[in-house]
Amino acid sequence: MEMHKFPYINDYCNEVFAREKTHWDFLLVRPILLVFYFFLRFATFPLKFLFHRYPFGLEGYLIDWFMALGMKYLARHDAAELFVRHVQLEPLIYRHLLTRKGAAPAATAEKLNGIDGDFGVEDIPTVFKNNLTIGHDRLSYELVDRFDREVFLENIDYIRSIKPGDHAQFSKAALEANKKYLFQLLGATNIVMLVVMVITIFGDLRTTITALNSFGSDSILLWSLKRLYKGNEEIQIDLDFFMQEVNNRGHYNSSAFFSNPSQYLYYHIVFDEVAYDLLVNRPPTVVSD
């Protein structure tokens, strides 16, 4: 298959996107969803401001119930796999950045929540029983709260000497349910857009703004990677292609009216994939700064 490869993206992501661009849903459904979302957000946010500013209690469950249905019946397998991988890679990357020499690794029994939680996705019900979507978005804010520049720099050589945890430690058995159903309709771009729409429709105003504004951790990850790979010009050039856009990572206060659902896939999910691939397969050299 002929493939247009972007040199700063890892092979896995390039292959997923190359396949996706040959499918009918990318050519026909994606433009419709983009136009629909444009009108959706302008209709829903004023209503949320008036009638749904604070949660009623079922928002998280409804968001993840619909997301689980999409994962089970609508997503093509490569899209479902990319989503599950992202849910599991992100906390491993954040744990890596927060590592301190001599400190025992933190661990909690909380399922699909918290940087130190358990991110095994054993089956589809696990998704909506454990508030995966909102819990995942909160990871960004948790990293911002826990990250300390001076502590990171004090431990930078130790962090360079180790690798992030292996995502294979987490169960991906839920993907087997996706394989059993023959619909396999939508690729990664459309699935991410549907997730953003579901959050926009069912989330209260505070939760929705929080979810659509959860990119602060990307700026911390980018800064950390550029410090970890200081002196490696080749990787520095690649990382420059993930420099902040105007939306949030530039001024950290994104307007929901101008949020771009494609940003979640092409900047956030892909960036985590690239970061994890770098840290595991091209670990930085230990040099004192």
135 burial (CB, 10 Å; 0-12 / 13-18 / 19+) is: buried
Residue 1 has pLDDT above 60, yes or no: no
Q: What is the pLDDT of residue 178?
A: 83
Predicted confidence band of residue 59 (pLDDT cuts 50, 70, 90): very high
User: How do the domains of the chain map onto residue ranges?
Assistant: 11-281
**Across 208-231, average pLDDT:** 90
Mean pLDDT, rounded, of the chain: 88
Which pLDDT tens digit goes with each residue over 100-135? 988 877 767 789 999 999 999 999 999 989 999 999
Identify which has the larger pLDDT, 105 or 60.
Answer: 60
Q: What is the pLDDT of residue 2?
A: 46
Which pLDDT tens digit goes with each residue over 28-55? 999 999 999 989 988 998 999 899 999 9
> Residue 23, Cα to own-chain centre: how many angstroms?
23
Predicted confidence band of residue 254 (pLDDT cuts 50, 70, 90): low
Which pLDDT tens digit goes with each residue over 222-244? 999 999 999 999 999 999 998 76
Assign 259 to helix, strand or coil.
coil
